[in-house]
Chains A and B, each alone.
Chain A
Amino acid sequence: MRESVLLFLIIVAGTGGELCVTRAMKAIGEVTDFRPMALLRFIAQAVRVGWMWLGVGLMALAFFSLLAMLSIENVSFVVPVTALHYVAGTIGAVLFLKERITRQRWIGVLVVCLGVTIVWLSRH
C-alpha cells in the first residue's frame, strides 16, 4: 500500500509537473543563445510564468516520494517502474500540449513500455 501510494505520487505529480514546465517553456520560446547572461535572462523569464511554479511544486512532491521509494526498493527496480510516465506523458502531451503524435512515435512509445514492463517483471 505504502509503495503504491508513493508510486502514484511519483507518476501523477511527476508527469503533471513535467507537463506544466513544458507549457511554461513553450510560452517562453526556443533558446538560441547559450551565453551565461542570456541564460540568466532566460531563467528570469521562466520564473515569471505561473505554470513553471506549479510544475516545480509538483516535481518537488514527486522528488520526495522518489526519495521515500528509494529508501524501500532497489534503484534498478524503482526507476523502470516509474516508466509509467510514458503512457501518462504521451496522453498528456496530446490532451494538454496539443502535440500531434505520429503512428511511428506511438509504436516507439509502446515498445519502450514493453521493455520497461519486462524490466519490471525481472524483479521476481
Chain B
Amino acid sequence: MRESHGLHLKTYLFIFFIAIFAPLGNTLLGKGMRSVGQVRDFSPAALVETLIRVINSGYIWLGIASLLAFFVAYMLVLTWADYSFVQPASSFSYAVVAILSYWLLGEVVTPLRWLGILVICLGVLIVGRTHPRTTEESARA
C-alpha cells in the first residue's frame, strides 16, 4: 500500500515537471520562430538559410533547454510508469501552454478554448485515478 502511494507521488512529481517544461519549451520555440519568420520555401538552400536563422535565435535555444529538461523527466518517469498513463496525464501542459502563449506571446485564448482545457483536465483526473503501471510487475507490487 505504502509502496503504491510512493509510486503515485513520484509519478505525479515527474508529471508536474513534464507539464511545466514542455509548454514552456514550446512557447519559447514559438517566440523564436516568430522572429525567424514563416517557413514557406522547402528547397534545400532555403531550409539551410532558415536553419541558420533558427540556430542564431536565443529563444530557440532556451526552448530546446526547456524541452531537454522535459525529455529527461519524461524518460525517467517511463522507467516505472506506463506510457499510456504518462502521456494523457501530462496533458495538463495544455492549460500551461494556453497561459504562457497568452502571457508571453499575446495570443487570444477564447472562452471556448478554456472550456476545452477544462475538459482536458477532467480527462486527466480520470486517468490519474488509475494505477500508473498495469503490466505484470505492478500486479505483484
Contact = CB atoms under 8 A, between A and B. Distances in A.
Contact of A93 (B29, B39, B82): B82
Contacts of B117: 115, 119
A40 interface: no
Interface string B65-84: 00100000001101110111
Contacts of A116: 91, 94, 116, 120
A105 B118 contact: no
Interface in B43-93: 54, 60, 67, 75-76, 78-80, 82-85, 87-88, 91, 93
Contacts of B88: 86, 90, 105, 108-109, 112
Interface of A: 2, 18-19, 21-22, 25-26, 28-31, 46, 63, 66-68, 70-72, 74-76, 78-80, 83, 85-86, 89-90, 92-94, 97-102, 104-105, 107-122
Contact of A101 (B79, B123, B126, B134): B134
Contacts of B119: 111-112, 114-115, 118
A50 to B, nearest CB: 16
Contact of B123 (A75, A79, A115): A115
A29 B135 CA distance: 13
B82 to A, nearest CB: 5
B124 A108 contact: yes
Contacts of B9: none
Contacts of A76: 97-98, 101-102, 107, 109, 113
A90 B87 contact: yes
Contacts of A97: 82-84
Contact of A115 (B42, B80, B82, B120): B120
Given A70-B33, A115-B118, A105 B130 contact: yes
A94 B82 CA distance: 11
A122 B121 CA distance: 17
Contacts of B27: 75
Contacts of A122: 110, 112-113, 115-116
Contact of A67 (B33, B78, B80, B105): B33
Given A113-B123, A118-B115, A119-B116, 8 more contacts: A46-B75, A72-B39, A75-B26, A75-B27, A76-B109, A93-B84, A100-B135, A105-B88
